[in-house]
Amino acid sequence: MEKLCIPSGVDMASAASKRKLAKLIFKIILLFLLTLNINDGKAQIPLDANLTISSNTGIFSLVIPDSTNISEIELLIGSNENPTEVFEHTFIYDQTSGLSTGLTFARDGANISLGLGTLPVLNIYHVKTRLKNGNGNWGDWYEFVGN
């Protein structure tokens, strides 16, 4: 039989509580490190996005979580859940000149505004966007439907 040594001034319940607390802290740290490893290299996703069409001119606004590690923004707009027929373009992050006719890129901190030029008027727009990080990894799609 194994003997359990408990320092003087510490009772059995206190020793067991400390051991449970140590195990819990270890599990929390391990979970945190695994979460970092899973997200390592993966690009972020936008926090919010909005499509506005006025007089057939489209403006796509999005809010990004961090502007320091983004290289491209891909945008797809269409009339169904696999949108591409209305608009499909990949914007180079912070490129404000040399864009195709009608396209613009403007940024104020984490707020980005993309001018899309002339778009057809639809009853419903399906929109998908995603971000690419500096390592060349794409984040998950941010999708929404609007009218």
pLDDT, tens digit (0-9, with 9 covering 90-100), for 4-17: 666 666 566 666 67
| Amino acid 83: pLDDT | 86
Cα distance between residue 78 and residue 141, in whole Å: 15
Query: Of 65 and 32, which is predicted with more confidence?
Result: 65
Are 86 and 119 contacting, i.e. CB atoms less than 8 angstroms apart? yes
Cα distance between residue 61 and residue 45, in whole Å: 14
Q: What's the DSSP call for residue 138?
A: B
Does the structural domain 48-146 have CATH classification 1.10.150.120? no
Cα distance between residue 129 and residue 29, in whole Å: 33
Q: What token pair was written down for 93?
A: 């992050």
Tell me if residue 72 falls in helix, strand or coil: strand
Confidence tier at 37 by pLDDT (50, 70, 90): very low
Tell me what the mean pLDDT of segment 129-139 comes to. 94
Tell me what the mean pLDDT of segment 107-128 comes to. 94
| Amino acid 1: pLDDT | 60
Q: Which of 28-32, 33-37, 67-71, 141-145 has the lowest mean pLDDT?
A: 33-37
Q: Which of 17-21, 46-50, 66-70, 142-146 has the lowest mean pLDDT?
A: 17-21
| Amino acid 88: pLDDT | 95
